[in-house]
Amino acid sequence: MKIVVGLSGGFDSFMACYILVTKGHDVTGVTMKLWDGDLSCKTKKNACYGPDEEDIEHAKKITEMLSIPHHVIDLSKEYKEYVLRYFIMEYASGKTPNPCVVCNSKIKFGFLLERIRSLGIHFDYFATGHYARIEYDSEKGRYLLKRGLDIHKDQSYFLYRLTQDQLKQILFPLGRFCKKELKTLAMAKGFHDIAKRPESQDFFCSDYSIILKDQVKPGNILDLDGKVIGTHKGICHYTIGQRRYLNLAGLKEPFYVIKINAEKNEIVAGPKRYLLKRFLLAKDLNWIVPIEEIKEKRLYAQIRYKTKPAECKVSQRENGVLVEFLSPQEGIAPGQSVVFYDGDILVGGGVIDSNSS
């Protein structure tokens, strides 16, 4: 098969490429250029957004090593419009955005594939180094998105916005592997330098105020009774459930961010128990499995990438879905994604709009 592989220059995308090459497929590597040259955002530190010349050069060396073609595709304008603009608008409204979700659906599995085709590069499938699985349900006539077998590396959470049209042309070669197993294989094949490359940890590994610029304004921190108990250095530095940077002294117990009021530029802080909520409203939904088929099932919702999935009930509402957890959840943050699972099958997800006790 003719397969195009998204190469970031990192270990996972290299191993995806290597596996496909060793299976005898006709493989081409493509690398996205996402940085627009903004010198104020010049800190890299293994982030997606920042100077990417080194990553592009490393991806080129990988393709030379594997003797396959390589293309660099400039998507910096699209990234700035659809990812950075979204990120700024969400933080300015007091929400906690998830740029990786938007980047995957809009950029990596959207504009990138369109650009590849416009260049006349024919392919049967597009592959990446994500730890997730895609299977075809012949009975229902649709594709399913499942968790990667390595539960510590599973990245399906970031992929919940993929559509059937996208899923049918995507491969995740690493979905059935454990990362440790792949590291061992890489070392055994002599790819020592690649195996030791640091992983990307965030979309931007520096102070978010560099990106948000004019949105950063100091303001008051209030307690639950509305009393001013401190000041914050800009709401962009905070998310629901955070304790760091509050710098509140003289309290009987630790305080955490309970609520962010962007309109008043205020943060409400309180004891940890006030973070516990049983309900959330989610909007902007995408269902890989129709909700009509799973609304009576026992579902598990994940409110952040690294949180433990929690059993819940999902009810349709005119403006989204109401999610009721069987036990209260801590740190439900508007703007983050809530993703629903039926066992290891990702059935859909949406953006958290609000939470309540």
- Both tokens assigned to 48: 């997606």
| Cα(255)–Cα(152) distance, integer angstroms | 30
Give 6: exposed, middle or buried? Use CB within 10 Å, 0-12, 13-18, 19+: buried
> pLDDT (tens digit, 9 = 90+) per residue, 70-110?
999 999 999 999 999 998 889 889 999 999 999 999 999 99
Q: In the prediction, which pLDDT does 205 show?
A: 55
Q: Give 274-308 pLDDT, tens digit per residue.
A: 999 999 999 999 999 999 999 888 899 999 999 99
CA torsion sign, 18 to 23 to 27 to 30?
A: negative
What is the residue-wise DSSP string for 172-228? -TTTTS-HHHHHHHHHHTT-HHHHTPPPP-BS--S-THHHHGGG---EEEE-TTS-E
Which domains are present in the chain? 2-195 (3.40.50.620), 217-270 (2.30.30.280), 275-356 (2.40.30.10)
Phi and psi at residue 123, to the nearest 5°: -150, 150
207 closest CA partner among 69, 285, 91:
91
Three-state DSSP class for residue 234: coil
pLDDT classification of 47: cutoffs 50, 70, 90: low
Instruction: Please give the positions annotated as active site.
Output: 103, 205
* pLDDT above 60: residue 44: no
* pLDDT-derived band at 202, boundaries 50, 70, 90: low
The per-residue pLDDT for 51 is 60
CA–CA dist 158, 308 (Å, integer): 15
| The two three-digit tokens of residue 142, written as one number | 């649709």
pLDDT band of residue 225 (cuts 50, 70, 90) is very high
pLDDT score at 271: 97
pLDDT surpasses 80 at 201:
no
What is residue 132's predicted lDDT score, i.e. its pLDDT? 98
Alpha carbons 305 and 202: distance in angstroms, whole number: 12
